[in-house]
């Protein structure tokens, strides 16, 4: 007689799909596999978190570098506008029209006057002929030669740049430095006078900003003037400074 209603009576040990077998407890090997799987999942999660954090740090560093460069560029532009407004002359690239006119004027004004020593110490002497070089860049890998106003690809030039001991500075074995404060527009006589008794072969640039003037004297009597254009020292390993440079050689 067919079943009329209610739950079907299943004999013990049987279910709707057939006989039911109790689940066997996990053995030691299964438990080890499960622990290894859990450990691998946890390790993968930790690595993923570390990668996310590293990517975020890289983005923040890149943003910081861009901000520093933008700040330096704005400061440089502001200094240039200020110099233009005040009529203060700035070094120009050698061979330009301005440099030619300046040299011609200087030659005319010096005609008929007696020559002096290489450092211009004698009364009534005139400055040597100026050689101007625009935007020379120096970093931790290269150097600047004051003899011909070139950027060398090695560290054997007159002027080097270094960020050792968390302080970026100009360095030289052949020259001494002094940084000028006050009104811009330093010339040969001022740099000659300000470097006469100096013995600083390293000049920290912490106080230097765009438009800052730095006087230099080489051991052969050459006088030079640096005008900072861009200084970037946020990342010491990528730090650099660009400077307009004027050199008055001791011997023309």
The pLDDT tens digits of the residues spanning 42-91 come to 888 888 888 888 877 777 766 666 665 555 555 555 544 544 443 334 44
- Residue 129 backbone zone (phi > 0: left; psi -120 to 50: alpha; other: beta): beta
pLDDT of residue 171: 96
The dihedral over CA atoms of 77, 137, 232, 190, expressed in degrees to the nearest 10, equals -70
Confidence band (pLDDT; 50, 70, 90) for 146? very high
Strand-pairing partners, residue 217, are: 176, 223
Confidence band (pLDDT; 50, 70, 90) for 2? low
- Averaged over 206-222, what is the pLDDT? 94
| Residue 223 to residue 192: CA distance in whole angstroms | 6
In 3D space, the residue among 117, 87, 93, 102 whose CA is nearest the CA of residue 246 turns out to be 93
The pTM (predicted TM-score) of the whole model is 0.54
Q: Is the pLDDT of residue 107 over 50?
A: no
What is the residue extent of each domain of the chain?
91-111+127-248
């Amino acid at each position: 007689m067919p079943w009329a209603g209610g739950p079907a009576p299943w004999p013990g040990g049987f279910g709707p799909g057939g006989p039911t077998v109790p689940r066997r407890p996990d053995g030691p090997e299964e438990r080890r596999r499960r622990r290894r799987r859990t450990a691998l999942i946890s390790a993968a999660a930790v690595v993923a978190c570390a990668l996310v954090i590293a990517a975020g740090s890289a983005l923040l560093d890149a943003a910081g570098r861009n901000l520093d460069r933008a700040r330096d560029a704005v400061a440089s532009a502001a200094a240039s506008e200020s110099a233009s407004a005040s009529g203060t002359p700035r070094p120009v690239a050698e061979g330009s029209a301005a440099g030619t006119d300046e040299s011609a004027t200087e030659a005319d004004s010096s005609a008929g006057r007696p020559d002096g020593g290489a450092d211009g110490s004698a009364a009534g002497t005139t400055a040597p002929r100026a050689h101007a070089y625009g935007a020379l860049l120096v970093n931790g890998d290269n150097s600047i030669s004051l003899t011909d106003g070139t950027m060398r690809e090695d560290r054997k030039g007159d002027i080097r740049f270094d960020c050792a001991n968390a302080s970026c500075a100009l360095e030289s074995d052949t020259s001494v430095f002094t940084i000028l404060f006050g009104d811009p527009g330093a010339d040969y006589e001022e740099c000659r006078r300000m470097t006469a008794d100096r013995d600083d072969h390293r000049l920290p640039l912490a106080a230097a900003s765009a438009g800052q003037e730095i006087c230099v004297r080489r051991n052969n009597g050459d006088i030079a003037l640096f005008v900072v254009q861009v200084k970037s020292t946020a990342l010491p390993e990528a730090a650099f400074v660009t400077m307009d440079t004027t050199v008055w050689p001791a011997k023309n």
